Amino acid sequence: MSFLSGLGQLILGFAVFFVCLSVHEAAHAWMANRLGDPTSKFDGRLSLNPFRHIDLFGTILLPLFLIISSLPAFGYAKPVMVNINNFRKPSRDNFLTALAGPAANLILAVIFGLVISLLPALSFLTILVEVNIILAIFNLLPIPPLDGSKVWHLILDDETYLSLERYGPFILIAFIFFAGSVFDYIFTIDFTITSFLTNLF
């Protein structure tokens, strides 16, 4: 029974993760389109359909491997393609497009948190608050290729920034495996914000 219960929680966790990740990626596409770059729109990413955003390795296999290995769970969707040459102010608009994803997750977290606070019977939705906050905080870290790394495009010249992005995946993998204590802080912040939002009234 405990195995089935654990399996059910895992499936629920993945379902919630897919939904929150889809909102995150669709927000990137929406902002890019608003700022003049329709690339993601033409790619079909301006959608809340999870299947348009799921990456077999990043969204399914990698999180499963990390969970089985008792490591901090992490995953990613297919990257939303952006052509910064279509932006009026490339570095600024690229940064705003990146921020749109975490911002969408924070908005969802606040909405669901307020709903739970007003209607405690819906406390089972707390996982939606937790996952959205985790996605927002983690993606705001200034580590390429995470969304927060786009802040470097406001500071560095294009060539240096693109070089940093090129090595992004290796930097991120190293961070995941060697900065475990950072995840403890992230989960603590997540728990604190979730408790605050779901117990306002």
Q: Which of 25, 130, 159, 165 is catalytic?
A: 25
3-state secondary structure 49-108: CHHHCCCHHHHHHHHHHHHHCCCCCCCCCCCCCCCHHHCCCHHHHHHHHHHHHHHHHHHH
* Nearest to 73, CA basis, from 21, 151, 142, 144: 21
Active-site residue, 25 included: yes
Sorted by sequence, the CB contacts under 8 Å of residue 180 that are 6+ apart come out as 72
**Catalytic (active-site) positions:** 25
